[in-house]
Chains A and B, each alone.
Chain A
Amino acid sequence: EAQVTQNPRYLITVTGKKLTVTCSQNMNHEYMSWYRQDPGLGLRQIYYSMNVEVTDKGDVPEGYKVSRKEKRNFPLILESPSPNQTSLYFCASSPTPQGALAQYFGPGTRLLVL
């Protein structure tokens, strides 16, 4: 089944404790992206990647890191999480390098930083 998977789905952590949210897609898509979703603000792009070893900042990159060493994986790293990073996170992928076609979203990761 074609899908985007994220792990973990739910995470409670404390301020300053490094964490990684994994994202994997099995559709051989070139474009991958991370978003956070907050009430009233909608989805905001954190980082995106047009291909392996190519990443770029979205609208809200501060406090986040990403890497794209393989085509299928695009992990999101929070080196020192803070409470304002409490949010619902979505990973997405798209067939084209520019992401001009539809994006396929993962199920989401709900993060609470205490």
Chain B
Amino acid sequence: EDQVTQSPEALRLQEGESSSLNCSYTVSGLRGLFWYRQDPGKGPEFLFTLYSAGEEKEKERLKATLTKKESFLHITAPKPEDSATYLCAVRDNNDMRFGAGTRLTVKP
């Protein structure tokens, strides 16, 4: 069965303390891996799409990378406004499968 597992479940960082979030997946035919940010009480907001192993994408303090079995979301010098839940999703044919998310808290 296709699975998407995110770790850690929760992460607390000090402002400026860089770290990485992990998304590991098992799907029969990956057609895209997506990262979303979700703030409390709101719908997920798109960040990145990665399609093939070795691909990388960056946006401000965030950088997403992809291998054949996992993706990392690297956060460099985070700020308190980066606090949110980060969701990973994979697309296998027509199905979209989400991980449970990593809840990131960045303290000033």
Contact = CB atoms under 8 A, between A and B. Distances in A.
Given A98-B31, A101-B49, A44 B42 contact: no
Q: Is the interface of B mostly helix, strand, loop or mixed?
A: strand
B89 interface: yes
Given A42-B99, A42-B100, A59-B97, A99 B42 contact: no
A90 B43 contact: yes
A104 interface: yes
Contacts of B97: 45, 59
Interface in A88-107: 90, 92, 98-107
Contact of B94 (A35, A99, A101): A99
Interface in A62-114: 90, 92, 98-108
B32 interface: yes
Contacts of B94: 48, 50, 56, 98-99
Interface residues of A, number: 27
Given A100-B31, A105-B44, A48 B96 contact: yes
A102 B34 contact: yes
Given A98-B31, A102-B34, A45 B100 contact: no
A33 interface: yes
B28 to A, nearest CB: 15
Nearest to A101: B49
Count chain A CB atoms within 10 A of each CB in B42, B98, B99 and give the residue with the most: B98
B25 to A, nearest CB: 13
Interface of A: 4, 33, 35, 40-45, 48, 50, 56, 58-59, 90, 92, 98-108
